[in-house]
Amino acid sequence: MELIKPPKTQPRARAHARRIYNGMPARDLGSEGWHKPWSGGNGGNCLEAMKLDDGRIAVRQSTDPDGPALIYTSAEMTAFIEGAKAGEADFLLS
C-alpha cells in the first residue's frame, strides 16, 4: 500500500502569484494583512495597504474592500511616497 502525502500548502499570495494583478478584486487577496498607514478627518475614507509575499504592495479603498486592488512594486511605492513628501503631488490638493 502506497501512502499518499497531502499537497504542500503555500501562503495565499505565493500560491496564486500568477493571479495577482493590477485592478483585481481586493477580496481575492483575503481580509487579513490590510493596514491603514494613516487616517485623517476624511469621514472614514482611508487607504489600506498590504505587503504581498513577493514584495509588491496592494492598495485598496477602505470603504470598498471588495473593490479593485492596485498593485505596486516596492520601487513604485517608494517613488510615490518620496514624491509626495517633496511636494510633487501638491497640485492634487488645490
Check the CA dihedral 58-59-63-67 and report its sign: negative
Asked if 44 and 83 count as a contact pair (C-beta separation under 8 A), the reply is no
Q: What is the pTM of this model?
A: 0.73
Instruction: List the pLDDT tens digit at each of the 94 positions of the chain.
Output: 444 544 444 444 444 445 899 999 999 999 999 998 776 666 667 899 999 999 999 999 999 999 999 999 999 999 999 999 999 999 999 8
